[in-house]
Amino acid sequence: MTDWVEVADRVLVWRQPVLDVNAVLVLGDAGALVVDTLSTPAQATELADAIRRVTPLPWRVVNTHHHFDHCYGNAVLAPDADTEVWAHTECLARYDRWIAEDGGKERVAAIAAEFDIPGLETVTLRGPDRAVPGEVTLDLGGRTVDLRHLGRGHTDNDLVVVVPDAAVVLAGDLLEDGAPPSFDDSWPLEWAGTVAALIELGPSTVVPGHGNPMTPDAVAAQHAELAALEWACRDGWRDHAPAEEVAAKAPFGSVLAVQRAYAFLDGAL
Ligand SMILES: [Zn+2]
C-alpha cells in the first residue's frame, strides 16, 4: 500500500510501485504544488485522492519532463483550465504538437504498445499550459518554489523544482535511484554539467524521478559517473572507437548513450 512519506517540512513523496515513480506534493499556506502526475488515470486518481486526504488547498501541477510516466495523469489532476500545468517550453511544445495532430491518440497508442501498463491506452493527453523557458518562481503562500531548467540531460526539457526553505530539490529523471538512468532522449555530453548545477543549489535532500530520496553524497556519486561517461564518449569519438567498445567500459554500459554522444559530436543530433 502506497502512502505519503514526508521527506522535509511539508514536502511529501508518493511512490508509485509501477516503474517506481515519485510524485511529490509541496504544501504552502494558500496552495499546493503537485510535481509529476504518473502514467494512467487510475494511478492519477489514487494520487488525487491521497492529496485530498492531506490538504483541502487548491493545487498547481508541474511536469518535470515530457515522458509519459510523469505527465499522463495530467487530465485527472488538471481536468480544467483553472488548474495550471507548468513545464519547460519544449515539453509544452511537444504536447501541443501531439494534441494538434489527432488529439494525441497516435502518441498514446504508441506508448501503450511499448509499455505494458494496464490503462495506459485509455489516457487522454492533457499538455502543460504554462511555459518555463528558464526559471519561474511560484508563490504557494508563505513559501515559494522555483522551477528551473538547469540545462539538458535526461531530455532537452528537464525541470528541477527547488524548495529553498526546506533545502530540497526535486530532480525529475536527471537523477535516478535504484536503476540506471534512461538515455533514450538524453544529452550525455551535457548531463553531468546539468547535475553539477543542481549540486550548486546545495540541497540537503534530493528526490529523484524514480526510487528513494538521495543524499548529497549519492548525488555526487551519480554526477561522477555521468562525468566519466561524458569523457569516455569524448575520448572514444576522438579515437574513432566503436560505441559498443566505449559503452562496455563506461559507467551504465549504455550503447545508446554513446551513440547519442557521437551523433551530437558529428553534428547529427
Ligand atoms: Zn523520463
Average pLDDT, the chain: 97
Instruction: Tell me what pLDDT residue 179 has.
Output: 87
* Cα-to-centroid distance, 154 and ligand 1 (Å): 7
Could you report the per-residue pLDDT of 96-154, keeping only the tens digit for each?
A: 999 999 999 999 999 999 999 999 999 999 999 999 999 999 999 999 999 999 999 99
Ligand 1 centre to CA of 238 (Å) is: 29
Residue 41: predicted pLDDT: 98
Residue 142 CA to ligand 1 center (angstroms) comes to 31
Fold exhibited by the domain 4-265: Metallo-beta-lactamase; Chain A (3.60.15)
User: Which single residue is written with the C-alpha cell 543530433?
Assistant: 269
For residue 12, report the phi and psi dihedrals to the nearest 5 degrees: -115, 135
How remote is the CA of residue 65 from the centroid of ligand 1, in Å?
Answer: 7
- 163: which strand partners? 168
pLDDT tens sequence across 52-67 = 999 999 999 999 999 9
With H, G, I as helix, E, B as strand and everything else as coil, classify residue 208. Answer: strand
Domain locations in the chain as residue ranges: 4-265
Query: What one-letter code names the amino acid at 12?
Result: L
Distance 256 CA to ligand 1 centre (A): 15
Residue 207 Cα, ligand 1 centroid: separation in angstroms? 14
Q: What is the distance between the alpha carbons of residues 23 and 207, in angstroms, rounded to a whole number?
A: 10
Share of the chain above pLDDT 70, in %: 100
Angle at 17 between CA 16 and CA 21, to 5 degrees: 50
